[in-house]
Amino acid sequence: MKYYVLDTSVLLHSPNALFAFNEHVVVLPEVVLEELDHFKSESSDRGVNSRQVSRIIDSLLPIGNLLDGVPINDFGGVLKIETNHLNIRMPEYWAQSKADNRILQVCKGLSESNRNVILVSRDTNMRVKAAILSIQAEDFRNDKVPNVDEQYSGRAVVYASSDVIDSFHANDSGCIDPGSVYSFDECSNTLMPATLNVNQFLLICSTDNDQHTALGRFDGRSVVHLRYHKRNPFGVIPRNVGQIFMQECLMMSAEEAPLVIIKGPAGTAKTFYSLAVGLYKTMERQPREYHHLLICRPNIPMDEDIGYLPGSEVEKVSPFMRGIRDNLFTLMHSNTIEDARELAQAEDSVQMLFDKRIIQTEALAFQRGRSLQKYWMILDEMQNSTPRQAKGVITRPGLGTKMILIGDPAQIDHPYLDSRSNGLVYASEKMRGSKLCFQITLQHDECERSPLAAEAALRL
């Protein structure tokens, strides 16, 4: 039996972590409860999670004495509040009043009592200090997804014979049996039968001619043609294979593809393309497919403290949407414009979109409790959202709403998230294989912003 000591960061991230250790003992030092108490009045996710932990612990009080331990599952797991080990010697230069050091003191005391102790913490420095004391420590991995290189990309390179590809090209309504395509196994250096996911995009290469290729999508039964690769929504032309795949899932109706997840490095036109297709669907397409174009971005200070900023809601959100305005300005004018009057007209066109509420911008935190009908909804920079926030917004769409999640897992500003635990990759892995979700990950060599942006995204 192992003793898992949880620190505050784990519970603030996931209250249900208390139940994630099966037959083992979960230990909460009393100082963790004190730290949780500091957060319970917040309106943030931390506050919500802190209150949830308190409710869980309160529900266990009738079962027994928490100081002795109470059962928390059917596997023999136990939750215990630890108030002992106050006299365990710690390094003299470590402040005794610091909560982290008290948690480590509990770990050290249990270890000296011949317990198999593991500290679980999302704080890297906390795990380093545990190593100094020779205490085993690990991150909370229960809701973590695979490493970036192993995460689902929504696309694959497969191989087929030239005859299969020729037949596919010859008939626009034709399809390829999935048993006729193969993937390359690097371990055995041979072609193996391909394992495909529903809605996965495919670059099909000939087994005997490197220049002979086709593009398709696995619909769950067979590999079918792309339907929208020849379209130019709002005048935008796809420049690479990744953008062709991205355009395909964006152009599909909300009934067929209500959720689209787009990942990729900076400069691959994720936001730009989503805005272009959104404007085409709401302004150029007749009849209009969507009544509103809504853009949200997660931002910690904005979500939690926006009420203290001066101005209206739109004025408060506006500084965080400058990247959106940059993309809209690019869409509204050609690169050949040099005349100051034409530039001013383009800027006025962008402002008109906001003044007439064709485009609406809001904080991500304000989406709780809403039911959105016929919205084109862009959730930008979602790598800075938590899994809980991602779940909260993905459950908001009503009929006729299309939701696009965008982000770069390599550019995270949230202090408690990483490339394996943020809301974007969490949603991507959990929605993998859903018929209602389409995904595409753009690659570094598909950056179209500028040569410098492509080089920086790859090197930095």
Residue that finishes a domain, picked among 194, 225, 256: 225
What radius of gyration do the chain's Cα atoms show?
26
Structural domain for 162, as ranges: 144-225
Separation CA 53–CA 359 (nearest Å): 39
d(CA 388, CA 268): 27
Report whether pLDDT(334) > 80: no
pLDDT tens-digit readout, 168-199: 999 988 899 999 999 998 888 899 999 999 99
Q: Kindly report, residue by residue over 343-358, the tens digit of the pLDDT.
A: 788 888 899 999 888 8
Domain boundary among 204, 225, 246: 225
Do 253 and 360 belong to one domain?
Answer: yes
Q: Is the pLDDT of residue 389 over 60?
A: yes
Spatial distance between the Cα atoms of 279 and 78, rounded to a whole number of angstroms: 55
Same domain, 100 and 201: no
pLDDT given for residue 417 in this prediction:
83
Both 278 and 361 in a single domain?
Answer: yes
Across the range 235-261, mean pLDDT stands at: 96
Note the pLDDT of residue 321: 83
Nearest CA-CA partner of 453 in 232, 237, 270, 321 = 270
What's the confidence (pLDDT) of residue 107?
A: 97
Q: Are 94 and 164 in the same domain?
A: no
From 225, 243, 270, give the residue that closes a domain: 225
Tell me, what CATH number does 7's domain have? 3.40.50.1010
Let me know whether 312 and 447 are in one domain: yes
Residues belonging to the chain = 460
Over residues 119-140, mean pLDDT: 95
Instruction: Indicate whether 161 and 53 sit together in one domain.
Output: no
Do 260 and 389 fall within a single domain?
A: yes
In this prediction, residue 305 carries a pLDDT of 54
Same domain as 205, residue 237? no
Cα separation, 438 vs 450, whole angstroms: 27
pLDDT in the model for residue 145: 80
Query: pLDDT tens digits for 396-446?
Result: 899 999 999 999 998 988 777 888 889 999 999 999 999 999 999 999 999
Residues 185 and 201 occupy one common structural domain: yes
Q: What is the pLDDT of residue 180?
A: 95
Its pTM stands at 0.81
Higher pLDDT, 313 or 33: 33
Q: 219 and 78 in one domain?
A: no
Residues 310 and 405 in one domain: yes
Q: Using CA atoms in the order 159, 160, 166, 169, what is the torsion angle rounded to 10 degrees?
A: -50
Question: What is the number of structural domains in the chain?
Answer: 3
402: left (phi over 0), alpha (psi -120 to 50) or beta: beta
Q: Verify that 242 and 387 share a domain, yes or no.
A: yes
**What CATH code is carried by the domain that includes residue 300?**
3.40.50.300
